[in-house]
Structure 1
Amino acid sequence: MDKLSKEAKLMAILKFNGDPKASDDLYALSQFADDYYTIWDSCIVNGVRFRCKERDDNFKKQCSGVCTWDDDENGDVIYYSVLLEILELDFIYHRKVFRFHYKRYNTDRKGKRMLIDNNLTSMNITSEWYKEDPFILATQAQQVFYLNDCARGKNLMVIQKIDHRGIYDVAEVDEEQSANDDVFQEEDSSELPSFHLIEDIPDTSSLVREDVAPIILSQEMMLKLRHKESLFRDQEDT
């Protein structure tokens, strides 16, 4: 029995005994995800839109650049990647986890694949790194943009980081399809509140007289009345 199976068994025992440490979230995650999962082309994480590289190539705005970081003895290590797939994993108790499948560029400091010149950082994108570990949680990702390094060649990309000031979850419309391919989760309900009257609606049935026959006016009479009404308005304006 491997380590994960032992942890899953231990969590099941704690859950059975009613231990408060075995919350529904932890217990659901310990029991592994379903064999079936959903693949999305784009998603919104913490108000930032991410798109897979294959779909991102059809748009002028780039949303497929991803960066993550890790701590080591020499300080913070930043990894730069490109997003390939967005996976939605289903667990028991209706829990869901979103994972990014990405391609990580080789930015090893020993390989001198990073170039820094005048506060501009460029990297070589011809080599891939950590192929055996191509997944991260969607909440671990931050967005980054890559620009062509025209001065050094097509295999080098300039890394551009930005801070999102104003973020709006506006659904995008694809030229080929208008269906909403974005997946995001809201903490609060977006349903409209039930309708309640704030004042009484007057009963207009008393304004209609059914004991008097209607009067039908001729077209000539209607034109005279409209003419008089127009003259009356002109006098008021004067």
Structure 2
Amino acid sequence: MGMATRHQLDDNLFKTAKWYVLNNSPEIEEYLNEHYNKVREVHTNNVDRCHAAKFPTWFKSKIQDLRKNNPSEVSEDLYALACGPEPWVVSYSACIMNGIRFHTRNHEELRRTQNSGVLVSGEHQSESVEFYSVVKDILALQYMKWRHVYLFECQWFDIADPIRGIRVGEHLMSVNMSRSWYKDEPFVLACQASQVFYLQNTGLGSNWYAVQKVTNINVYDIPSNPLIEDDESDSSDIDVYQEDNDGDAYIPVQVDDDGLVSPLHRRYVRMIVPTLLAAQVKISPLMMKQTRIGISSISESPFSLHL
């Protein structure tokens, strides 16, 4: 795995990542709706674009004023979210998210195993679709007081073109890895990602790969509510693990009901790190809003994810 590396995102990529986290935070939905309605009153065209560009600054100013006048109404998590992440991020080549191991594509180039395939359910033009990609990078956005949010930077494959991008047969679906989609919106919360594998489909050409969905070994969906309602001692906060004997050092990440993610050796919160969000997919992978993030605080660990 190697050591984590720290680097600065370019301005456009940083703004894209910052907006993606904000736009997928259910705790601030009232602020998102308020700002969207204000923008719609002024701008009749490009409302979504103006909303995305102006919301972070507007939100930061609004929360700072609220904190000054009514400090009890602004939690530390909300304030950290409003202030935004540092432009310097930590990059990893692998992580374990909710018991599932993910690698970046470069990390597994010389390996026989494959762990970089990602599937995310979302919407495109008001229709439910499944977005397929490979992980290019695993990033930890750093917020105030050691809070973190984990994102996958992905290469999305073109599933909009039924001839040159994707082929769906009776028993097999293949994607063309030479054609990309949503290049300007590469991020997804790590907690939003499911894993898929790609097998080369030589019948269609060297760039075509069949998509194989899988159920990970020894990974189970644990009900969020106790199965025995009259037993108050029952706990649904059960950790999920995937058996895998590998000597590599991974950054384990878990998510709880709040959508934040944090290292497995620490408390697991929805998208905690000890704090930030869970996410959803809406118009595109970046605009995802089907699995929102939740803010929650964990004093001993940084923010974390769900997806």
Q: 1:171/1:43 Cα in 2 relative to 1: closer, same or farther (>3 Å)?
A: farther
In structure 2, the residue matched to 1:55 is 107
Amino acid at match of 2:64: A
TM normalised by structure 2 equals 0.55
Alignment partner for residue 64 of structure 1, among 102, 109, 116? Answer: 116
Q: 1:30/1:103 Cα in 2 relative to 1: closer, same or farther (>3 Å)?
A: same
* In structure 2, C-alpha distance between the alignment counterparts of 1:85 and 1:24, rounded to whole Å: 29
Residues 135 and 152 in structure 2, CA contact (< 8 A), matched pair in contact too: yes
* In structure 1, C-alpha distance between the alignment counterparts of 2:181 and 2:124, rounded to whole Å: 17
Give 1:6 shift.
0.9
Q: Please state whether the residue corresponding to 1:53 is helix, strand or coil.
A: coil
In structure 1, the residue matched to 2:273 is none
Whether 1:173 aligns to 2:284 is no
* In structure 2, C-alpha distance between the alignment counterparts of 1:92 and 1:54, rounded to whole Å: 31
Whether 1:25 aligns to 2:94 is no
Q: Please state whether the residue corresponding to 1:126 is helix, strand or coil.
A: coil
- Bigger relative contact order, structure 1 or 2, given CA contacts below 8 A and separation 6+? 2
Whether 1:94 aligns to 2:146 is yes
Residues 201 and 209 in structure 2, CA contact (< 8 A), matched pair in contact too: yes
Residues 54 and 84 in structure 1, CA contact (< 8 A), matched pair in contact too: yes
Alignment partner for residue 134 of structure 1, among 164, 186, 200? Answer: 186
TM normalised by structure 1 equals 0.69
In structure 2, the residue matched to 1:40 is 92
* In structure 1, C-alpha distance between the alignment counterparts of 2:185 and 2:142, rounded to whole Å: 21
Residues 166 and 175 in structure 2, CA contact (< 8 A), matched pair in contact too: yes
Whether 1:77 aligns to 2:146 is no
Give 1:68 shift.
1.2
Equivalenced residue count is: 183
Alignment partner for residue 182 of structure 1, among 251, 270, 273? Answer: 251
Larger Rg: 1
Amino acid at match of 1:18: P
In structure 1, the residue matched to 2:282 is none
Amino acid at match of 1:135: F
The one-character-per-residue Cα deviations of 1:161-219 (angstroms, maximum 9, x if unpaired) are: 01124042656225xxxxx2434313449xxxxxxxxxxxxxxxxxxxxxxxxxxxxxx
Aligned Cα root-mean-square deviation (Å): 2.3
In structure 2, the residue matched to 1:12 is 64
Q: Please state whether the residue corresponding to 1:54 is helix, strand or coil.
A: coil
Amino acid at match of 1:3: F
Amino acid at match of 1:106: D
Q: Please state whether the residue corresponding to 2:112 is helix, strand or coil.
A: coil
